[in-house]
Every structure is written in C-alpha cells, then in structure tokens.
Amino acid sequence: MRHRVAVIGGDGIGPEVVLEALKVVAAAGVALDLVDYDLGARRYLATGEVLPDPVLDELRGHDAILLGAVGSPDVAPGVLERGLLLRLRFDLDLYVNVRPSLAPPVDLVVVRENTEGVYAGEGAPCAGARPTRWPPRARSTPAWAWSAASASPSSWLPPGPGDT
C-alpha cells in the first residue's frame, strides 16, 4: 500500500531533519508518494504568503503531512505560528499527538492533546482561560487513548474524517 504524503521541509534544520526521516521510512520499506510544498519563513519573506487557501485544499487530499521545523528571526513572532502551524492544526482537525515507543519490555504510547497553551485561544497563550476554538473531536481523545492502550500497535492512529 502506497501512502500519499505532503512534505513541508520548512526552515533552518527542518529540511535536514525531514530528509533523515524520509530515509528511515524508506529503510522500513514503506512506500510513499511524496509531494513537496515550499511553506515556511523563506516563502513568507519572498512572497508574503504563509499558507494560501489552494495549498491548504491540496494538503487535505494527502494521507499525511511530514512537517519540519519552521521559523526565522526575520519573521515576526506569531506570523508562522498562527498562519501555518495553527491554521493546519485547526483547519485539518489535528488536535492530538500520538507518540508510540516500542522498546521491549516497554510498550508505551503517549497521547497528548493540542488544546492547551498556544493552541487555546487561537495562538494567544491564555493561562487559565478556556479555549475559544476547541477542536470538535477533542472530547473523544481520552476514549480513543484508552482503546489504543489495549489494542495492537497498528491501531495507534486516530480515526480520520469519515472513519467509523
């Protein structure tokens, strides 16, 4: 089975880290169809665009997005965080990080919601405040984490839109 993956190398060390990640995936024998996207500080500084609507629509059609580090001291704080990172997370309903770790005898999956800190209040840290845009499926995270804890590693990915 081939997976269609959007690759956003980003800035600074991002492209180097993404390249190494792709080497690991290839060594594991996973078949990928890659589509590169030039998003991050370099693009913003050159064009003034962070994440154009047509690009976001294209990203929706991929099975996954591999995202490297983004940012530059030449870009004002908040521009890329809100315009790229938070926009991807909110518009694509990416509210949870799943971090499996298989190091026998330990079989651990860390499930962390992206609903706190800068994720709450659409990018403005709001200590003690309730988020203004709570991801629609966030209430299902504890239930999903519980079921994943007792399932096989192949079920560690949260259901996508339209999955039952």
**pLDDT by residue for the chain (164 residues), tens digit each?**
889 999 999 999 999 999 999 999 999 899 999 999 999 999 999 999 999 999 999 999 999 999 999 999 999 998 999 999 989 988 887 767 777 777 777 777 788 776 666 666 554 444 444 444 444 555 567 776 777 777 755 455 555 555 54
pLDDT at 10: 96
Judging by beta carbons within 10 Å of its beta carbon (0-12, 13-18, 19+), is residue 161 exposed, middle or buried?
Answer: exposed
Four-point Cα dihedral 86, 73, 70, 39, nearest 10: 90
Closest CA to 68 of 109, 2, 8: 8
Domain locations in the chain as residue ranges: 1-92, 95-164
Topology, domain 1-92: Rossmann fold (3.40.50)
The predicted pLDDT at position 138 comes to 52
Q: Is the pTM of this model over 0.85?
A: no
Residue 3 pairs in a beta bridge with: 32
Give the pLDDT of residue 117.
63
Place of tokens 């154009």: 52
Tokens of 147: 């079921």
Q: Are strands 31-37 and 2-8 parallel, antiparallel or unpaired?
A: parallel
In whole angstroms, what is the distance from residue 155 CA to residue 48 CA?
40
